[in-house]
Amino acid sequence: MTTQEEVQLVPMLVGGEPTLAKAGGTISVGNPARLNRPIAKVPRALEDDVNTAVQAAYTAFQSWRRVQPRERGRIMLRIADAMEAAAEEIAVLIATETGNALAPQSRPEAKGAADVFRYFGGVAGELKGETVPLGEDLLVYNRREPIGVVGGIIPWNSPVLLGALKIAMSVTAGNTLVLKAAEDAPLGVLRMGNICNDFLPPGVLNVLTGYGEEAGAALAVHPLVRKLSFTGSTEVGKSIMHAAADRIVPVSLELGGKSPVVVYPDSDNDTVVQGVVAGMRFTRQGQSCTAGSRLFLHESIHDSFLEKLVSKLQALKVGDPLDEATDMGSIINQKQFDRVCQYIEDGIGQSGAELVLGGMPPQNGPLTEGYYVTPTVITRANNDWRVAREEIFGPVLVVVPWSDEEEVLRMANDSHYGLAAYVWCQNIKQALNAAHRIDSGWVQVNRGLGQIPGHSYGGFKMSGMGREFSLEGMLDSFTQRKSVTVNLA
Ligand code: ADP
């Protein structure tokens, strides 16, 4: 078995150069499908390393801000091509470090990241302002200017896609970026950083690896960081917002969710079942902020819908993320695995709860070789239970039967989160009425798939603030407006 000493140390990217931590510390990166067997080491960045990276980004900003937006866009398009060429290699890296299965998740993620660069490269010319009609003697116009050094912090669940978003939005808009990868999934992000670095001037993109409380916190409070963009838990998001408040820097936060899925009585069919499985992100082990994890099933179709759902879920192959036939890989680490197990135990222990499928992970057999949890469905749940209120971030679907439309919409909104929502209903008038009444930043009607570059994505309530994934998101979150007033009289 490989020991930590034998694995490769993969450097960070600072000022265009491969860089180790000044204090020499490292963090082991493990394969969760092999109970965290080490696969590589990365530097453990501390405050000193963060300072150097931010300084490099600050220096690079002085000239990058003056590069024409369309030229910045052309560079994004070249990065997109290079990312596409390296997609398979990156997909394998993601699958190995996160446990996300190659075919349904890691490969589409790597390709999706290339798509993100392509999208923002294409819209770079739209970083334009407007003129204001205030009379013949005044020329008033607004410019969209970059903000400065962006501090980006990303989680492990979709590391390369989320990293690509932060890079493409920040850098296309003329900012420079210090990106802190998640300690559990830095390898794909470092590989992407090196690809970008082949095309960008040194210091425009810097990628750090390190723990959140060390490198992440130091980045959030750094005085030269003029914008913070964070994706992760609501709890850490609050601390990022506090850090931003101290220096009055704009912040965008993409946080957690407990997204409702409302199924109407006219939607008891296989297509909807498939959509609910996709929406719950079972093939990502439910480790997605947009997972539709609270299923509100109309009482009249409860039994027959669940029967179909169970047979779909039973057909999913759980196992080695690198096996092409695998539908579901492993949970990211021991801590999350334990957390998911605690939620399952708590959920099935509630009075009236019915375990329809799954439950506690197997105690023996091949699935004990990694952090595997099988698809789990608990029905007859109460919307007040912890499993129905808190984000589990595991393959645990909680079903709440309903019979009154007013009541189900009230329950759907009875959450401190408001990220995504799913409405399944053939009557489009009724479906849109529900979509408009649900307090979420993103509602899908009769669709359960993921985000597409070009649509603004972000949360209501404690799911976050700011919008990403779109031109508007880039304009609103990664540029600042300057108004220029010229007296022509
Ligand atoms: P998760 O629970 O999904 O790991 P976190 O919010 O803890 O989500 O982590 C998301 C990202 O935030 C990671 O890159 C992590 O290192 C970073 N992080 C964690 N704690 C802090 C902190 N106190 N300050 C800044 N970043 C942090």
pLDDT tens sequence across 17-64: 999 999 999 999 999 999 999 999 999 999 999 999 999 999 999 999
With bands split at pLDDT 50, 70 and 90, how would you rate the model's confidence at 276? very high
Average pLDDT, integer, range 231-260 = 97
- Cα of 1 vs centre of ligand 1, distance in Å, is 30
Residue 61: which of 166, 170, 193 has the closest Cα? 170
Q: What is the pLDDT of residue 6?
A: 85
Task: Enumerate the β-bridge partners of residue 485.
Answer: 140
Whether residue 3 is predicted with pLDDT greater than 60 in this model: the reply is no
425 is catalytic: no
Point out the catalytic residue in the list 183, 196, 214, 289.
Answer: 289
Token pair, residue 186, equals 């830095």
- Give the mutation target among 27, 42, 100, 153 for probing the ligand 1 site: most ligand atoms within 8 A of CB: 153
Token pair, residue 132, equals 């204001």
Q: What is the pLDDT of residue 5?
A: 55
Q: Counting atoms of ligand 1 from 1, which one is nearest the CA of 220? A: 25
254 is catalytic: yes
CATH of domain 4-255+463-484: 3.40.605.10
The angle at the Cα of 357, spanning 352 to 362, to the nearest 5 degrees, equals 115
Q: Counting atoms of ligand 1 from 1, which one is nearest the CA of 231? A: 10
Instruction: Give residue-wise pLDDT tens across range 198-208.
Output: 999 999 999 99
Phi, psi angles (nearest 5°) of residue 96: -75, -35
Token pair, residue 478, equals 């990664």
- Cα of 210 vs centre of ligand 1, distance in Å, is 10
Tell whether ligand 1 has an atom less than 6 A from the beta carbon of residue 446: no
Average pLDDT, integer, range 398-419 = 98
CB 54 within 8 A of CB 60: no
| Full strand arrangement of the beta sheet holding 176-180 | 17-19, 12-14, 205-208, 176-180, 149-153, 225-231, 251-254, 464-465
Q: Is 274 exposed, middle or buried (0-12, 13-18, 19+ CB in 10 A)?
A: middle
Q: Is 448 exposed, middle or buried (0-12, 13-18, 19+ CB in 10 A)?
A: buried
Instruction: Give residue-wise pLDDT tens across range 81-134.
Output: 999 999 999 999 999 999 999 999 999 999 999 999 999 999 999 999 999 999
With bands split at pLDDT 50, 70 and 90, how would you rate the model's confidence at 2? very low
Residue 115: which of 157, 86, 84 has the closest Cα? 84
Domains 4-255+463-484 and 260-451 share a fold: no
Point out the catalytic residue in the list 254, 341, 391, 425.
Answer: 254
- Cα of 112 vs centre of ligand 1, distance in Å, is 23
| Full strand arrangement of the beta sheet holding 396-402 | 354-357, 376-379, 396-402, 294-298, 260-263, 420-424, 442-445
Token pair, residue 205, equals 């993109």
Domain extents for the chain?
Answer: 4-255+463-484, 260-451
CB 58 within 8 A of CB 139: no
- Cα of 208 vs centre of ligand 1, distance in Å, is 13
SS3 category, 79? helix
Question: CATH: 3.30.365.10, 3.30.750.210, 3.40.309.10, 3.10.450.350. Which one for 260-451?
Answer: 3.40.309.10
